[in-house]
Amino acid sequence: MNSSILIRPELSPKKDVIKAIDGFLNAFQPHEIKMEIKLLLHFDEKSEAYYLVCHLDGKVLARHCDLEASLDAGEDDEIYKLNREITEDQAAYKLMEEDAQNGRSFEDLVLEYETSYHPQKSLKVYGGQHRLRAIIKAQHVKGSVLHGVRVYFDLSREQKVEIATVSNTSIAVPNDLLDRMREQLIGSELRDWCQAVGLLDMGVDFADRRSPDTPTVRIARTLLVNFFLGLDTKQLEDFHQPIICKSGGIDEQYLTVRSRINWNDEGLKEMGKQFARLHKLQRQSVLDRQEDKNAEFARKALSLSVVSSWAYAAGLFQRETSYLNTHYSIPESSSFPEDPLNAKALSEARLRPTDPDTYRGLGTRSSPSELGRMLEVFLVLATKASKKRITKELAHAAIQSYVAKRAVYEADKVLGRI
């Protein structure tokens, strides 16, 4: 170990950690070392990771920091960034950029010294990417400015995810990004499946926040869980309840479903392809027309209430070919400029006088009753409607049907306790 490092007696870092530390010190010579000040080797007991706290020149960081950090050196993982997207349009970032140009010294930038991929950019950024982008842009304005860094060494995949999560959580990282990082840790199957069925373009990862066209991990999980809930239901006439997967934490129901998935199953792939087709045509139809170009109408298929109920119906109809064909043919049920889901008609549907004035129509909320109502739209369309397209009349009928089914269901529960 380099003589400039102090190690507490109770610590015993592995050889790979020591080797990485020596490589970092030789490559970068932190300010403290140049000033002949010894550095203390820190140990995070929660993640069991070793790190140094020191200072590096902004020009050094600009040359060697990798804002495209990934889980490991594997070719697939390099495509998918561990960090959230840089959001340079935000006011807070603009102020940060101005501070950097005026010589601001930033602290606690979270890095890992990692040379297994992009060795010329060996300082992988897990926290502070906005500050580092500001530092990079300020290099032509200011001279030497020191910035505080926390540099980790020889991290495992699990440690990378945990440290990146903690670092980003301190700056209010979106739940959708936390979901994406945790999904990366589980494996790439969900992302690969979404790319295979067309929900994601090849080489594109899940959105790290609500997006008009790209699904989040939560949307993809909700799609799969409800498909299997519908598939497992024995009777079409039963009272059905779609669900929405949790976000920002562990969803046990998703993990249970995930453990039983055959990602190559043809029925599962067909379901994904049909949903991707519905979403793309819904978005295209709304954006291409002259009137009612409402952004919420365009992304209607990605509404969690629509995702959950559509997928539940797709699973439920797997044993009824005619119903399934009707369900999958929704994209052809209308002609331009109408959109397949008839989002305007859904927005005007309500149960009077029960629904409040603030109710914005079907598919806009995420309560259990809203999911049940939206599911009933697809059930009525496939099993009852003479005209196989979503209309305002059908939406009103679906709400009434749901209310009646729920009343019977609740009554049966009460009678069952007598």
* pTM, full prediction: 0.73
Q: Identify any residues that bridge with 39 across adjacent strands, giving them in sequence order.
A: 5
User: Would you kindly state where each structural domain of the chain is located, as residue ranges?
Assistant: 5-172, 189-416
> In this structure, are residues 136 and 94 in contact, taking their beta carbons and an 8 Å threshold?
no
Tell me if residue 48 falls in helix, strand or coil: coil
Q: Which of 287, 275, 303 is nearest to 361 (CA)?
A: 303
As a whole number, the mean pLDDT across the chain is: 89
Q: What is the pLDDT of residue 409?
A: 87
Q: What is the pLDDT of residue 363?
A: 82
Tell me how far the alpha carbon of residue 84 is from its chain's centroid: 10
Q: What is the pLDDT of residue 287?
A: 93
Residues 18-68 pLDDT 10s: 999 999 999 999 999 999 999 999 999 999 999 999 999 999 999 999 988
Residues 10-24 pLDDT 10s: 999 999 999 999 999
Q: CA 275, CA 281: separation in Å to the nearest integer? A: 10
Tell me how far the alpha carbon of residue 367 is from its chain's centroid: 21
Residues 177-213 pLDDT 10s: 889 988 988 999 999 999 999 999 999 999 988 898 9
Q: What is the pLDDT of residue 353?
A: 75
Q: What is the pLDDT of residue 72?
A: 63
Q: CA 346, CA 348: separation in Å to the nearest integer? A: 5
- 10-residue stretch averages of pLDDT, the chain, 418 residues long: 86 95 95 94 95 96 90 55 58 81 92 93 92 88 85 93 79 79 90 97 91 94 98 87 90 94 97 98 93 90 97 96 96 90 90 78 87 96 92 93 90 81
Output phi, psi for 109, to 5 deg: -80, 130
Q: CA 241, CA 238: separation in Å to the nearest integer? A: 10
Where are the alpha helices (H) located in 170-303, listed in sequence order? 175-186, 189-197, 217-232, 252-258, 266-288, 295-298
Q: What is the pLDDT of residue 75?
A: 46
Where are the alpha helices (H) located in 259-342, listed in sequence order? 266-288, 295-298, 304-316, 321-328
